[in-house]
Structure 1
Amino acid sequence: MKVSAEIAGFMKRLGHEFAQPELLVRALTHSSVVSPTRPDNQRLEFLGDRVLGLVMAEALFAADAKASEGQLAPRFNALVRGETCAAVARQIDLGQVLKLGRSEMMSGGRRKEAVLADAMEAVLAAVYLDAGYAKAQAVVLKLWGARLDGVAEDARDAKTALQEWAQANGMPPPVYDETDRSGPDHAPIFHVTVRLADGRSAEARGQGARRSIEQAAAQSLLAQLEALA
């Protein structure tokens, strides 16, 4: 199968030249553009999620022989969650080569976090099917390398850490309110406030998935609590 210059360029950024490029084309095909002769990437996404999970679990297990399961689990979650997969996809300009239907393209599909994360997992499955586990592992470790090296000693996300702090201090879980929303539908800007039962609060504003803005608000409030400790 002859590939376009765009796909060839993406293979270079990915770090794998496909013997079966049709696998990569399928991995880049969103459900908005499927046809009887063009399957989408959802099955590959399912497989890629498991490939990524095994690579990360092995890498974390090998990197710290003294870490407990309670320490390894949050690190693992930080590395495989959708936000991280989408960030890696942006790192290699995956959105540029996605195959999208017109409506999905017009709504900003090339920048959507969920679309990018799913496609990134599908691409990893395509590498696995094309060249085996060792090659898929090498690609993951190359693309996730800095994140793997820098994963925090305690990588619990900020929302989880804030909820645990509230419970430890006899409070109900914190409440997150969307106090404002602006911008186009495909790239909304969220303003989120998080509040504890004792009245303490923090705010965050930004573009992207609402969950990521909630995380920023939680991190801000945690910083306040640590400053008062």
Structure 2
Amino acid sequence: MARVKGGAEALIRLEGRLGVRFSDRARLERALTHSSLKRSATDASYERLEFLGDRVLGLVIAQRLFETHPKSDEGDLSLRLNSAVSAQTCALVADEIGLAEFIRHGSDLKRAAAGKNRSIRADVVEALIAAIYLEHGLEAARAFVLERWAPHLEGPQVARRDPKTELQEWAHRRAGAPPAYELLDRSGPDHEPVFTVRATIPDVAPAEGRGPSKRVAEQRAAEVILLREGVWEPETA
């Protein structure tokens, strides 16, 4: 495996920011490695760790919300959970840690659109959660998540729903029909595809969205309509 820029000193610096020490440095490096550096299907990247970390994050946050909001129903808890584990929130946590300088990726990815970098930073945070879980167990992963996510578990952002769900309900009220999503284009290399999707609603101007998967592109197209039609207010920085 190619090494993180800065080598062992960089990993030690990152461990200090995370508040976690790793005996398995190869796993820590894997959590920081984007698939654009893979030379073959067997080369390591953060993808498998991200899969596990996403589940650990969801469990920890779901339990905390369940405990701290005893009067909330399932719908409210789901809104809060979706906000807390969203790519936007995970990327914010990544930025608070300063992860960007440690993420390893190929030169082609450096030329990618800036909007896609949020997904990468979010993925790496989830991969790091998995690395902590595998190294030190659930309680260590829980402590890390609760410390880092504490500022993001309350506030007005929890009221924002999944954009496709929000748009579907609005479209039924406005036009009596659900939105239709059409795949317009798929471009980019296999390890970093870009999907372009158009969302259409009767008697409403269509909107397009782009993302690393069809689902993300559909969500972004839905979000464009929600913001344009005044259903959602623009988020403040």
Fold match by TM threshold 0.5:
yes
Of the three residues 19, 22, 28, the one matched with 1:18 is: 22
Structure 2 counterparts to residues 1-229 of structure 1, below 5 A = 4-34=8-38, 39-107=44-112, 112-150=117-155, 152=157, 154-169=159-174, 171-174=176-179, 197-199=202-204, 211-212=219-220, 214-215=222-223, 217-223=225-231
Relative to the length of structure 1, the TM-score reads 0.72
Q: Percent identity?
A: 35
Relative to the length of structure 2, the TM-score reads 0.70
Tell me, in whole angstroms, the C-alpha distance in 1 between the residues paired with 2:39 and 2:198: 43
- Of 215-224 and 131-140, more deviation after overlay is shown by 215-224
Q: 1:111 to 1:11 in 2, by over 3 A?
A: farther
Q: Hey, which bits of structure 1, 4+ residues long, moved more than 6 A?
A: 108-111, 192-195, 201-205
Instruction: Show structure 2 runs of 5+ residues with no match.
Output: 1-5, 183-191
Q: 1:7 to 1:109 in 2, by over 3 A?
A: farther
What SS does the aligned partner of 2:88 have?
A: helix
Instruction: Show structure 1 runs of 5+ residues with no match.
Output: 178-185
Tell me, in whole angstroms, the C-alpha distance in 1 between the residues paired with 2:221 and 2:228: 11
Q: Per-residue deviation at 1:29?
A: 1.4
Q: 1:221 to 1:14 in 2, by over 3 A?
A: farther
Aligned residues of 2:181 and 2:198 also touching (Cα < 8 A): yes
Partner of 2:3: none
RMSD over aligned Cα atoms: 4.0
Q: 1:15 to 1:224 in 2, by over 3 A?
A: closer
Tell me, in whole angstroms, the C-alpha distance in 1 between the residues paired with 2:27 and 2:140: 15
1:172-200 Cα shifts (integer Å, max 9, x gaps): 235789xxxxxxxx9x9x9x99876455x
Q: 1:73 to 1:103 in 2, by over 3 A?
A: same
Q: 1:127 to 1:34 in 2, by over 3 A?
A: same
Aligned residues of 2:199 and 2:221 also touching (Cα < 8 A): no
